[in-house]
Amino acid sequence: MTPEERRTVLITAVVLLLASTVRLAWESRPVTPLLPPDSSAYAELIPATDSLLALEERRRTPLAPGERVDPNRADEVELSRLPGVGPALARRIMDDREQRGPFRRLDELARVPGVGPATVHRLESLLDLDNPPPGGIRGDAAEPLDLNRADEVELERLPGIGPALAERILAERRRRGRFEAPEDLLEISGVGPITWERLRPLVTVDGAHGGPH
């Protein structure tokens, strides 16, 4: 064996030894589990996952013949069901009505960035500012709705609460166990200050009226 061949064999042996050492160290490293070892955590993930799947399924459901969307009450998911309106534009519509108040006419939707007169005209047959949810809107004279006992249908009757937002409220109630105060609604995505002002006199928690504290 020539000196050059011996040098090549030695270098190869060193490389193989280093590779084996690295592989052994890698395989013996501690592995952090992707999920917590406490199995009770899995039970909390199931309803949250089911809720997200239900919202996504609702978002992908086209409007039924004759079905209309009220841009003053629909949440992000319901607005996203409109053709050509994705989650980002739906969020801008909600942000605009929260900051500037409800839309008095359909053409006022054109004030939202990304919604021009052509878009309003295209969606006009699918929008209705006067289309109340099932059972009508609760008035100030109605008994406040207990957020810890209300079902999905009762929540949908509240102004500004559509099917998707009602489901988020129920999911948050399941996660918490119960709401401690009506103001807990403000922690739910889709309930902003203006929506809360409309809901304040209409909701309660175990008999505690949702007025100022």
How many other β-carbons are positioned within 10 Å of the β-carbon of residue 112?
Answer: 20
Both 169 and 118 in one domain: the answer is no
Highest-confidence segment of 37-41, 95-99, 149-153: 149-153
Q: Residue 137 falls within a domain, yes or no?
A: no
Quick one: the chain helix, strand, coil %, rounded to 5? Answer: 55, 5, 40
More confident residue, 146 or 43: 146
pLDDT band, very low/low/confident/very high, at 169 (cuts 50, 70, 90): very high
Show the domain range for 196: 145-209
pLDDT band, very low/low/confident/very high, at 2 (cuts 50, 70, 90): low
Both 53 and 91 in one domain: the answer is yes
Query: Which phi and psi (to 5°) does residue 205 adopt?
Result: -130, 110
Q: How many folded domains does the chain comprise?
A: 2
Both 49 and 121 in one domain: the answer is yes
Q: Residue 139 falls within a domain, yes or no?
A: no
Both 122 and 155 in one domain: the answer is no
In 3D space, the residue among 170, 173, 192, 190 whose CA is nearest the CA of residue 181 turns out to be 173
Residue 28 has pLDDT above 90, yes or no: no
Q: Residue 152 falls within a domain, yes or no?
A: yes
Highest-confidence segment of 13-17, 52-56, 178-182: 178-182
Angstrom distances, CA of residue 38 to CA of 46, 47, 53, 156, 176? 14, 17, 24, 36, 19
Both 47 and 122 in one domain: the answer is yes
Both 167 and 199 in one domain: the answer is yes
Residue 22 has pLDDT above 80, yes or no: no
